[in-house]
Amino acid sequence: MVIKIGVIGVGMIGQDHIRRCTQVLNGCEIVAASDINLEHVQSVLKKYNIKGKAYTNGHDVISSPDVDAILVTSSGPTHEEYVLAAINAGKPVFCEKPLAVTAEGCEHIVKAEMKAGKRLVQVGFMRSFDACYRKLKQTLTEGNLGEPLIVKCVHHNLTVGDSYTTDMGVTDSMVHEFDILRWLLDDDYQSIQVVSPRRTKHALKGVQDPQMVLLKTQKGILISIDLFVNCQYGYDIRCDVVCEEGIAYMPSPLQVKTRTKGQFGEHVNSDWRERFIVAYDIELQSFIDNAKNNIVAGPSAWDGFVASKTAAAGMLALKSGQITPVDLPKCPAFYRK
């Protein structure tokens, strides 16, 4: 069986997922796509040699009888509307992060999905499909290191574009950390604080970079995330977990280490596409394979909601500099794993 996919939004990640679906993954076919500009959609379909239909309205993709499943890869503010429409149509939908731009928007989606009575939404948090994070979780779960006490994370980007703002550190960059650390520790957050060191000379005017995010979980684990988006040397994601009986360091993706000319070296990734390329493949293949069996799994609308609630608390913390509570309602039984 081949899952017929409709894509809404053919910008950077939309095209990357189209490339994946047409050149890497199996069991799927792109049959429709939409974006604001019709010529842009047509040119993307042509580029990937796709015979599907081009639309300017995402709702036409969702209602098309040719389409079995939807990929929402348009700009963040459009996600809520399209995901709600896909749920209404009873079609599985893979939505890139953020699920919605506000926690209230995510809550609308959670309610609609529960009303539909079955999971239809997978959120594009790809890190839990990454082999390095999986190995780290397996090590922690095996229990030889005792209980986790402190987690030290690094989130460094080589550099960021002119449109990057201080707020985006919390709302865009940190959401991946907010999602993966709950998954890794099987825990939820109690509070968040954002503190600012001295600014790098490489930050654009008015942008605070680096920032340090401190989270306390409900089990009492303390997490520090060193966010530095103009670090100048590469894209570097690290996660060390200090436990009662030892420390677990997340392994690097497959890298050859070199010794030459008196130096010891290892390649540093240039961006998130290079670091997580296999994880993106696995997350989307899993969405397709599950759709064939009428199942939706992976990061859920509830996970999207919690990431959004944590980001909202993070924004308050950023403005106040204070330790700020993350008020999360109890996870409904519908979403409990």
Q: What residues make contact with ligand NAP under the rule CB under 6 A?
A: 8-14, 34-37, 58, 73-76, 78, 96-97, 124, 126, 272
CB 175, min distance to ligand NAP, A? 9
Q: Which three-class secondary structure state does DSSP give residue 122?
A: strand
Phi-psi region of 321 (alpha: psi -120 to 50; beta: other; left: phi over 0): left
Sign of CA dihedral 169, 175, 178, 180: negative
CB 88, min distance to ligand NAP, A? 17
Extract the tokens encoding 209.
């970079």
Beta partners for residue 263, in sequence order: 260
CB 257, min distance to ligand NAP, A? 27
**CB nearer to ligand NAP: pick between 221 and 275:** 275
Rounded CA gap, 202 and 159, in Å?
Answer: 8
Rounded CA gap, 243 and 88, in Å?
Answer: 45
285 Cβ contact partners less than 8 Å away, ≥ 6 residues apart: 25, 26, 27
Give the nearest residue (CB) to ligand NAP: 11
CB 268, min distance to ligand NAP, A? 18
DSSP state of 160: -
Strands 69-72 vs 3-8: parallel, antiparallel or unpaired: parallel
**CB nearer to ligand NAP: pick between 34 and 230:** 34
**CB nearer to ligand NAP: pick between 13 and 278:** 13
**CB nearer to ligand NAP: pick between 96 and 209:** 96
CB 96, min distance to ligand NAP, A? 3
* Length of the chain (residues): 337
In a 10 Å sphere around its CB, with 0-12 CB exposed, 13-18 middle and 19+ buried, how is residue 9 labelled?
A: buried
Encoded amino acid at 99, one letter: L
**CB nearer to ligand NAP: pick between 228 and 276:** 276
CB 58, min distance to ligand NAP, A? 5
- CA-based radius of gyration for the chain: 20
CB 298, min distance to ligand NAP, A? 12
27 Cβ contact partners less than 8 Å away, ≥ 6 residues apart: 1, 2, 3, 285, 288, 289, 292
**CB nearer to ligand NAP: pick between 129 and 324:** 129
**CB nearer to ligand NAP: pick between 6 and 9:** 9
**CB nearer to ligand NAP: pick between 172 and 226:** 172
Encoded amino acid at 52, one letter: G
Strands 28-34 vs 53-55: parallel, antiparallel or unpaired: parallel
CB 10, min distance to ligand NAP, A? 6
